[in-house]
Amino acid sequence: MNGKVFVISAPSGTGKTTIEKKLKEDLKNIEPIVSFTTRKPRPGEKEGKDYHFVSKEKFEKMIKEGEFLEWAEVYGNYYGTPKKEVFKKLKQGKNVLLTIDTQGAMKIKNLIPDAILIGILPPSLKEQERRMRKRKGLSEEEIRKRLNAAKEERKILFKFYDFRLINKDLKSTVEKIKKIIYNFSHQSS
């Protein structure tokens, strides 16, 4: 494998989806991998662009057939990274970007030890909660669950991740990630 795997993880409400979109626009030397999920699309999300939206039955069949590099159940929905797609891009010498939760990132790091893990943190817990409340369709119970899960995710980010960035300013955060990707993708293997 000649390409590198870059993983971005962040607790809910930290801006990882926005960061991922900016990286997709700005970087030509990285291939984002579209995850599979059983959750319903949010307004504006597109099949095959944001996620591959599948039924729970289809996802469970894919698990049985070993189609995921990693998968997890998060907030009652399944999310998974397609194995074939990742290895195909790596064999072509392309760098791969995975935007996944910390559970999935730890599985990736075990399978691909030289994967670069980049954790994104909110500027404050208050700001994180504010961002979650702005998001449409989250109940009070879901917000509480996500805030509690964020505590555990932060522990993992601090203990195991290669880089941790606080997303105070989107442009600055994106530039820092681009530098990390550039530096690691230009190292000789």
What domains does the chain contain, in order, with CATH numbers?
5-185 (3.40.50.300)
Q: Please report where in the chains the tokens 């979650």 appear, as a residue.
A: 132
Q: What is the pLDDT of residue 45?
A: 87
Look over the chain and give the mean of its residue pLDDT values, rounded to a whole number: 90
Q: pLDDT of 16-31, one tens digit each? A: 888 988 998 898 888 9
Half-sphere exposure of 57 (CA within 13 A, CB side): 0
Cβ neighbours around 86 below 10 Å, total: 23
Tell whether the model's pLDDT for residue 53 goes beyond 70.
yes
Alpha-carbon distance 76 to 89, whole Å?
A: 30
Q: What is the pLDDT of residue 189?
A: 45
Alpha-carbon distance 80 to 59, whole Å?
A: 8
Task: Return phi, psi of residue 158, to 5°.
Answer: -75, -30
Q: What is the pLDDT of residue 187?
A: 67
Tell whether the model's pLDDT for residue 188 goes beyond 60.
no
Q: Is the pTM of this model over 0.85?
A: yes
Task: Return phi, psi of residue 97, to 5°.
Answer: -115, 125
Half-sphere exposure of 65 (CA within 13 A, CB side): 11
Query: What residues contact 176, with CB distance under 8 A and at least 6 apart?
Result: 165
Mean pLDDT of 106-128: 92
Tell whether the model's pLDDT for residue 98 goes beyond 70.
yes
H or E segment and range at residue 73: strand 68-74
Half-sphere exposure of 162 (CA within 13 A, CB side): 17
